[in-house]
Amino acid sequence: MDFSFTEDQLSIQAIARDFAQKRIAPVAAELDAKGEFPLDNIREMGQLGLMGIEVPTEYGGAGMDPIGYVLAMIEIASADAATATVMSVNNSLFCNAILKHGTETQKQTYVRAIAQGEAIGAYALTEPQSGSDASAMHTRATKNADGDWVINGKKSWITSGPVARYILLFAVTTPGVGAKGVSAFLIDTHKAGFRAGKTEPKLGIRASATCEIEFTDYVASKDDLLGTEGKGFSLAMSVLDAGRIGIASQAIGIGRAAYQATLKWVVERKAFGKPIGSFQMTQAKIADMKCKLDAAFLLTLRAAWAKGEAEKTGGRFGTEASIAKLTASEAAMWIAHQAVQIHGGMGYSRELPLERYFRDAKITEIYEGTSEIQRIVIARNETGLR
């Protein structure tokens, strides 16, 4: 087995690492405390190719593969999970969906702007009454006499909702048939009928902006339909497979940051006359942290490789993506928990970033499919039972 990376993959990783350490890490704690969106950094990331890593160069992206995306995401998330959240949505959910299902005009209009950092994208599936049961959505799109769509409804927990120019929205176009009646639309938030609600006061990833969005007689043209009418739910689920690789990468970045901080701490911190890293109980925690981190990394690389192969053959990679997301998110939460414990009182203080890693890690077990949903996906794919 060959675990080496290509020059292009190492190059995008180096670009991401350099930007993360020089521009993101120095302001991460301040932006977290203020809940301030890192707009300038996001724009620069677009110019560096980090907001459209897998986007072909003809649409303004870096033209890289899924493994390059994973490597870059880990570097950004190690500096700030909130910034990585924005990067993940733009890459995995927004651009990926349009590249797979959009027309040439849609790709040029929407993907190019996002990939180059000129605009920010969002993905709107969740509603106040439907989270994991996403097909139970109430937002409706009704065709008018001109063949355009009039949209009414509300979505919740929309990452980048307050700052997004374009949104990939899912709405019911044929009521009464469940998932088969859902379609996908590309929304311009500058048009009449769109309103962003208040920014949510979140536990973690506080520098990313999250809100409810509301549509009141918003008119989407027939050309704003993404893919085929009635195929929106299957589109949403296939895009989430790619998104789960992004969240797994984010979780690895958070876990790695917590682990590296802990390694330094156990060597420098002394108790009873010697470094705390010399105590067997601490050593056991370090060993388990390392094992979980490496397992998550390798499973996420496998999922990224499977995605790349699926793009060539038309195959699926949902099981691999769910395994990676489940393993990495739970590893990040466990590692961050142990890191705070090993740091003791200082781990609980905002003087060190450990408490931020702990808060940020939790969301990776929740969004783009909870750990419970990942287990259902994996088991159903393995058994064939529903």
Residue that the structure tokens 């890191």 belong to: 339
Q: What pLDDT is stored for residue 200 in this prediction?
A: 95
For residues 166 and 84, membership in a common domain is answered with: no
Amino acid at 245: I
Rounded to an integer, the average pLDDT of 245-256 is 98
Contact present, 145 and 102 (Cβ < 8 Å): no
- State how many domains the chain has: 3
Residue that the structure tokens 């506080």 belong to: 206
Burial class (CB in 10 A: 0-12, 13-18, 19+), 17: middle
Q: What pLDDT is stored for residue 114 in this prediction?
A: 96
**Is residue 129 pLDDT above 90, yes or no?**
no
Domain final position from 98, 119, 140: 119
C-alpha to C-alpha distance for 165 and 99, rounded to whole angstroms: 18
For residues 240 and 290, membership in a common domain is answered with: yes
How confident is the model over 60-118, as pLDDT tens digits?
999 999 999 999 999 999 999 999 999 999 999 999 999 999 999 999 999 999 999 99
For residues 354 and 243, membership in a common domain is answered with: yes
Indicate whether 1 belongs to any domain: no
**Is residue 1 pLDDT above 80, yes or no?**
no
Percentage of residues in the chain having pLDDT higher than 70? 100
Rounded to an integer, the average pLDDT of 9-15 is 98
Burial class (CB in 10 A: 0-12, 13-18, 19+), 198: exposed
For residues 131 and 109, membership in a common domain is answered with: no
Q: What pLDDT is stored for residue 279 in this prediction?
A: 98
Q: What pLDDT is stored for residue 313 in this prediction?
A: 94
Domain final position from 62, 97, 119: 119
3-state SS assignment for residue 290: helix
Torsion of Cα atoms, 20 then 22 then 27 then 31, to 10°: -30
More confident residue, 386 or 226: 226
For residues 323 and 358, membership in a common domain is answered with: yes
Q: Has this prediction a pTM greater than 0.75?
A: yes
For residues 264 and 351, membership in a common domain is answered with: yes
Q: What pLDDT is stored for residue 211 in this prediction?
A: 98
For residues 42 and 175, membership in a common domain is answered with: no
Indicate whether 69 belongs to any domain: yes
3-state SS assignment for residue 230: coil
Q: What pLDDT is stored for residue 364 in this prediction?
A: 98
For residues 247 and 201, membership in a common domain is answered with: no
Domain final position from 230, 250, 282: 230
Which of 22-36, 124-138, 244-258 is least confident?
124-138
CATH number, domain of 301, equals: 1.20.140.10
Between the alpha carbon of residue 188 and those of residues 28, 157, 161, 349, the distances in Å are 30, 18, 12, 42
Q: What pLDDT is stored for residue 8 in this prediction?
A: 97
User: CB count, 10 Å around CB of 67?
Assistant: 23
Indicate whether 2 belongs to any domain: no
For residues 86 and 147, membership in a common domain is answered with: no
Q: What pLDDT is stored for residue 230 in this prediction?
A: 96
Percentage of residues in the chain having pLDDT higher than 90? 96
For residues 71 and 147, membership in a common domain is answered with: no
How confident is the model over 206-215, as pLDDT tens digits?
999 999 999 9
Please work out, in degrees rounded to the nearest 5, the angle formed at the alpha carbon of residue 49 by the alpha carbons of 45 and 50. Answer: 55
Indicate whether 217 belongs to any domain: yes
For residues 274 and 147, membership in a common domain is answered with: no
Query: Residue 127: phi, psi to the nearest 5?
Result: -130, 165
**Is residue 131 pLDDT above 90, yes or no?**
no
**Which residue in 76, 51, 78, 75 sits closest to 62, CA to CA?**
51
C-alpha to C-alpha distance for 126 and 211, rounded to whole angstroms: 11
Contact present, 292 and 335 (Cβ < 8 Å): yes
Task: State the average pLDDT for the chain.
Answer: 97
pLDDT confidence tier of residue 2, bands split at 50, 70 and 90: confident
Rounded to an integer, the average pLDDT of 188-199 is 96
C-alpha to C-alpha distance for 188 and 293, rounded to whole angstroms: 40
**Is residue 53 pLDDT above 90, yes or no?**
yes
Output b/e per residue, 24-52; b: 16+ Cβ within 10 A: bbebbbebbeebebbeebbbbbbebbbbb
Catalytic residues: 368
For residue 170, the cross-strand partners are 184
Rounded to an integer, the average pLDDT of 153-174 is 97
For residues 377 and 240, membership in a common domain is answered with: yes
Q: Which domain holds residue 167?
A: 122-230
Q: What pLDDT is stored for residue 317 in this prediction?
A: 97
Rounded to an integer, the average pLDDT of 225-252 is 97
pLDDT confidence tier of residue 217, bands split at 50, 70 and 90: very high
Indicate whether 16 belongs to any domain: yes
